[in-house]
Amino acid sequence: MQLWRIDTVISTMSDRIPAPREADNGHAADEAYSLIREQILSGRRKGGDWLREGELAESIGVSRTPVREALRRLTAEGLVRYERNRGVQVQAWSVRDLDEIFSLRSVLEPWGCRLAATAGLVDVAVLDDLANRMDEIAPGGHPKDVDKLTDLNNQFHRTILEAADNSRLTAVISSVIQVPLVWRTFTHYTPEALQRSLAHHHELVAALAAADPDWSESVMRSHVRAAWHSLIPQDDPSVP
């Protein structure tokens, strides 16, 4: 009778515990996804580069199965594309693609900023601190650390979006701005353009502190459009 009870307990416990291999594969897939995604966003893997499962698995130190899962997730995000009989390639972005992305941003982010101005959730002190830290990293429009500046800028924009208290809007905008060229916009700025962008941050802080939705929305729209023109050469005939 006791043996039967022990067997029953062990059987019940085994049903609840995930198989080690499945758990390991899930962790490895997350790791592979994060590493490959960071390589794409940082520009180490450029648009048009082919991603080979075997090479990725070896460099990351995992089997091909989690790499395959990671590539599926990246394909769903639009960072890579699958081409039948050829494999997976890092997505290349044309001027038209980027124009569409910034057109979306110029509608969605200003609206999010407007919501944040009236939701009563924005932490103005945090935004002010982030704006000042960006000034310190880029004196006179000359960034000492572009990666750190990019990270602080992303925190600044994310803080505003989270204060809009609209999770769907935040998710949509986050997916839009994770394009490599957009993510590293500051590498394309002139000193004058960067100073203008940093000044926009301080004006956004003032507008949000005043809880003025019209002012907040207007500044964010100018901020996004200025970023677009800093990203694309002005002598490019395809620029609208």
DSSP string across 130-162: HHHHHHHHSGGG--S-HHHHHHHHHHHHHHHHH
Q: What is the C-alpha separation between 208 and 118, in angstroms, rounded?
A: 8
Contacts of 42 (CB under 8 A, 6+ apart): 147, 180, 184
For residue 228, the one-letter residue type is W
Residue type, 61: G
CATH number for domain 2-90, candidates 1.10.150.120, 1.10.10.10, 3.40.50.1370, 3.30.565.10: 1.10.10.10
CATH of 95-231, one of 3.20.20.105, 1.10.1060.10, 3.10.450.750, 1.20.120.530: 1.20.120.530
**pTM given for the model:** 0.69
Q: What is the pLDDT along the chain (240 residues), one digit of tens a residue?
A: 444 454 444 444 444 444 444 446 678 999 999 999 888 877 788 889 999 999 999 999 999 999 999 999 999 878 899 988 899 999 887 888 888 889 999 999 999 999 999 999 999 999 999 999 999 999 999 999 988 998 899 899 999 999 999 999 988 888 777 666 566 677 778 999 999 999 999 999 999 999 999 999 999 999 999 999 888 755 454 444
Give the CA distances from residue 135 to residues 127, 130, 237, in Å, rounded to whole numbers and listed in that order: 12, 9, 33
Domain with CATH 1.20.120.530 in the chain: 95-231
Residue range(s) in the chain whose domain bears CATH number 1.10.10.10: 2-90
Structure tokens at 152: 């602080």
